Structure 1
Amino acid sequence: MGELRREFGFWRVARALLATVWRERRASNRVDGLNNHMRRDIGLPEVEVQRRPISLNPWDARF
């Protein structure tokens, strides 16, 4: 980093670093974690939710 700073200057290196971070942040925006309501709102097809099998174990009660 010190060598880059000496060659290109602090502000150019800082701007390049911020641009790289911004590009990586934008690339990580995914729709995998959206629920069906939000997917419908932006025009994506709904994903069928797979349900867990019914459990008769009283310690696994789901309310």
Structure 2
Amino acid sequence: MKAQGWKKLIHLSANDLSIGAMFIGDDAKVLQTVIRDTLKIIQNDPVYLKSGHKIKEYLNTRKITF
């Protein structure tokens, strides 16, 4: 966890992060940064599925972009 990322959101509960939740101000900016950084890690690091395919290659075959 980075001080400028998830640690700034520790006051939020799981319910606060539910689908459809609205964030404003600093929480919105931090959450956007955390999600962007997480997607970069998923895209760039060699994560493998059970099938043995790299997640990045798998997503590219499905026309999914971030």
Shorter-chain TM-score range: 0.3 to 0.5
TM (normalized to structure 2)? 0.35
Identify the structure with bigger relative contact order (alpha carbons < 8 Å, sequence gap 6+). 2
Normalised by the length of structure 1, the TM-score is: 0.36
- Name the larger-Rg structure: 1
